[in-house]
Structures are given as structure tokens and as C-alpha cells.
A and B are shown apart, each in its own frame.
Chain A
Amino acid sequence: MASRAAGQSPSRLRGPSGRIWPLWGRRLRPWLVPLLLVALLEAHARTLGRGSDALAAPSAALWAGWQLLRSGELLAATAFTLGSAAAGLALGAGCGAVAGLALGLMPRLSRASFLSIEMFRPLPSVALVPLAMLVFGFGLRMEMSVVAFATFWPMLVLAQAAVRQVEPGLIEVARALGLTPAARLTQIVLPASVPRLFVALRLCVAIALVVAVTVEIAANPHGVGYAMSLAQQSLDPASMLAWLAWIGVVGVAVNGAMLALQRRVERRMGGAA
């Protein structure tokens, strides 16, 4: 009996530490490869790559990051980048959503505007930087406008599709119940589009971050992108890597926040989202 029970659960065969190891092991396993890479980089920077202008030891980058945090630079630059990305997103995705919903509801208007949309949409948003710089100069408004342009088009296209894909059965229910056009929009079409609009929003959030950092690296002397390229130009790989890692952390955090928000909305909407 005892041998059969042991055979059924091989994890118990790991001896006295078997009850602790799987628990810790499961938590640690995803971190194993990244930690190993960091350790390798650290070893490389302290031996072969000593004095390199391109790479710094992770410990040095960590220290540089700590200095940036203490000086307030880190948070100020992050606030600028996130702020302009959020403002641009609100403007671009907001207008895109409204325009997309309108086009989705009015097929005739959608057909009429198809050509103009397809002419502007493929324009790479970063190509707008020179124009935006001429119009707005350096600063928040310039970055915001490029982010807004970049997020407007995907939201427009996806919002339009979201409205088109509303379950036709629900539209019939609205007709059968005699809902007014306004109620049909607010009670049926909009809530039914929420899941797809959320996917579009998450896509636009990612685009907004990428474009904001790109604009800062390319032109705008503010934010984390500029700070990172400045560190690069001053041959300070430790700070540069610190900024790079920080941008990664911010990206992960923003994505995590969006996922959490999505789950909350899903729960409130009965698992519909």
C-alpha cells in the first residue's frame, strides 16, 4: 500500500525537504532564467568586459538607478512619459472610439470615409515628429499629438469592427422591445462592444508607450526616452541600462494594471467581457 501511494505522487519522493522545495520551487522557477542571465552579465562585466562603454554590470546599473531615484530624476521623467502617453491616448483613442462607433453605426458614412482612412492610417506615426515639432515645439503637446495620432487609427478601426460584431440577436431584442435608438446604443451596442473595445484599448496603451518613448529618443528632450539616450551619449552605460530596465518595469506594470482593470470589468459584466 505504502509503495503504491508513493508511486502515485512522485513529488513525495524528494525526501525530507520535499514539502518545502515544491512550494518554493514553483515560485522561483520562472525567475531562474532571468536571474541566471543577470548573474552571467554581472560576471562578464567584472571580468572580460571591464571598462566597456556599451555594457555595465547589473550591480552598477542598480546603483545608478538608485541614484536616479534619489535625485528625483527617475520619477520626474517617468511622470512626463506616462503623462504624455496617457494624455495622447485619451485624446487619440477617445476620438478614435467615438469616430469608430459612429462609423460602425452608419455603414454609408463608413464606406464614404474608407479611402481617406486608408490613406492616413498607414502613415508611420514617428514620421509626424518633424511636423509636430514645427507646430508645437518641444514638450508635452508635441509628444501628446504624435501619441494621439498613433492610437487614433487602431482604435477607429477596432471600434468600428466591435460595433459591427454586436450579436444580431441582441439588436432584434432591442427592436422587439421597442427601445429608442439612444437606448439601443447605450443599453445594447455599447455594453456588447466592451470586450472588443477593451482589447483595442490594451493594444493602444502598448502603442502609446512605445510611441512616447520613441518620440523622446528621437526628438523631445523630456521623459525616460530622452534620459536614456542622454546617458548613452554621455557614455554612461550603467545609467543607460538602469533607464532601460526601468522602462521595462513600467511597461510590465502598465500591462498588469490594464489586465487587472479588464478582470474587474469582466466580473462586473457577468463574465461577458
Chain B
Amino acid sequence: MLLEFDQVAIHLGGREILSPTSFGVRAGEFVCVIGPSGCGKTTLLRAASGFMPPTHGQVRRHGRPVQQPSREVAFVFQDYGRALLPWRTVASNVSLALEAARVPPAERPARIDRVLATVGLTAHAGKFPAQLSGGMQQRVQIARCLAQEPELLMMDEPFGALDAMTREGLQDELARLQREQGLTVMFVTHDLEEALYLGDRVIALRAHPAPGRPSLAAMVEVPLPRPRDQLATKESPEFLRLRRELYRFLGHD
């Protein structure tokens, strides 16, 4: 198990946001965490990335407790506008990850070119973030995370602020990247279809846990064949069945 959540609970302001929750993430797996706002899904992801300790329980990576952020774990922030350095060009923003990892300067250009090509930004390497659309800025952030060559990619509603067309394009691109590079991804979203379309497994959390109503509402395997297709997959009976099943779990029951 690459990542283990062992009775992880989160309290904010004295209130229990996430009741003790346990599950694991296997290497190479794409796990989506879904739930209404305020269910603690982002906090769970932040705790798993070492940004903050959980109130109770433990997150373990390779059996060792996660205590602080690691370069092995890349984090894609929802707000790309605040995660890119506005004074650095696209290439230079990607370079930041390499500088942090102390990659020798001579090796950097080739690695930057490679990740920019992977996300289709080669032509924009010299531009500043403010000159790019939202979708392209988020690609830059993903490129920077890929440059880290992480074993685990944490994504916090990365496509939440994008328009539907851009979002679908980036979903397909992410699915391709994950397949090609064998990435392990933990993906937080509030969009049920997005979770089912991308995930091998979907973990549904509910807000306001109570005794007898734990945060972990459901855990569903998504056996849909890959590569998936925006139309065919989303129209398949299996997809619709899963969508219906999860929909009930998400506080609509």
C-alpha cells in the first residue's frame, strides 16, 4: 500500500469535520475523493500531503507517518492563479521544482522541455502566467508537479475553476498522463461525473458526520474500461448505474 489512512479524523474549530476514516491507496491507482463542500475532503488531502497534521489518527506513506510535505508527493492547488509565480515565465515556473530538487542547471532545460511537451505547452515556454488562459495556467502547474517526478500526485479540485470544455480536455489529458507515466493520483472533486470518469475508485464523503453516520459514505470501484471516452463512457449503463448509486450516498438520501 503506497498510502494508508489509519483512523484519520479532522476537527476544525472544535467541530468534527471528518470522523475517523481508514482506507488505502495502491501504487498506480487513481483514487477520487468526492463530497459536498465542508465534508473535509480538501483537509484530508492536505493532511495526506503533510501540510497539516490530522487531529487524530495517522497517514502513512510506505509505512512511515507523513509529517511534512515531501518532494515525492506533488500537490496541484485548485487556485492556479495563486500557485504560479507571476514573475517567472512558464519554463521558469517549471524550473522552480527542479531548483528545489537541486537538479544540476545543465540538466534542467531538457527536463523542462520534456514536461512542457507532455502537457502541450512547448510553444508557450517563454510566456508569463498572466498571458495564459486559466486552462493553460493549470497545465503549467501540472507540468511543474510532473517535473518533480513524484510517486504521488495530489490534486485539489484542479479543474473546478475551469469552463466545461477546458475541463474535459484536461481530464482526458490527465488520464493519459496517469496511464503513460504510471502515476498514483489522489484527486479531490465535488463533481460526481468527473470522479467516476477519472477514478479507479471513488471515495464518497458526507458532511456533518454523526454517530452511526461516519464521514466515509461509500467506497466504489469503477471497473469502466480505459482509455475512457467523454461520450461513450459517460453514456455506458455501468457509468450511469454508478452515478445513480453514488448520488444517493452524497446527502441526497
A interface residues (Cβ-Cβ under 8 A, vs B): 167-170, 172-173, 175-179, 183, 187-188, 191-192, 194, 269-273
Contacts and interface: CB of A to CB of B under 8 A. Distances in A.
Contact of B130 (A176, A191, A271): A271
B138 to A, nearest CB: 13
Contact of B100 (A178, A270, A271): A178
B49 A270 contact: no
Interface in B203-218: none
A272 B120 CA distance: 25
Contacts of A178: 69-71, 100-101
Nearest to B150: A176
A188 B87 CA distance: 10
B2 interface: no
A271 B51 contact: no
Contacts of B70: 178
Interface of B: 49, 51, 68-71, 73-75, 77, 79, 82-83, 85-89, 96-97, 99-101, 128-131, 148
A200 B130 CA distance: 24
B96 A270 contact: no
Nearest to A267: B128
Contacts of A271: 86, 128, 130
B97 A177 contact: yes
B152 to A, nearest CB: 12
A187 B96 contact: yes
A271 B131 CA distance: 9
Given A177-B148, A178-B101, A269 B86 contact: yes
B129 A270 contact: yes
A61 to B, nearest CB: 46
B87 A270 contact: yes
Nearest to A266: B87
Nearest to B72: A178
Given A187-B99, A191-B87, A176 B69 contact: yes
B85 to A, nearest CB: 7
Contacts of B86: 269-272
Contact of B96 (A175, A177, A273): A177
Main SS class of interface, B = loop
Main SS class of interface, A = helix
Contacts of B96: 173, 177, 179, 187
Nearest to B102: A180
Contacts of A170: 82-83, 85
Nearest to B80: A169
Given A270-B88, A270-B128, A175 B83 contact: no
Contacts of A187: 85, 96, 99
9 contacts: A167-B82, A170-B82, A175-B68, A175-B69, A177-B71, A177-B148, A187-B96, A270-B89, A273-B87
Contact of B77 (A173, A191, A194, A270): A173
A228 to B, nearest CB: 43
Nearest to A168: B82
Cβ-closest 7 pairs across A and B: A270-B128, A169-B82, A269-B87, A272-B86, A177-B100, A272-B87, A176-B75
Contacts of A194: 87
A271 B87 CA distance: 7
A216 B68 CA distance: 57
B80 to A, nearest CB: 9
B52 to A, nearest CB: 11
A114 to B, nearest CB: 28
A182 B129 CA distance: 24
Nearest to A175: B69
A167 B83 CA distance: 9
A183 B100 contact: yes
A273 B87 CA distance: 8
B229 to A, nearest CB: 33
A247 to B, nearest CB: 36
A269 to B, nearest CB: 4
Nearest to B71: A178
A14 B66 CA distance: 77
A179 B71 CA distance: 9
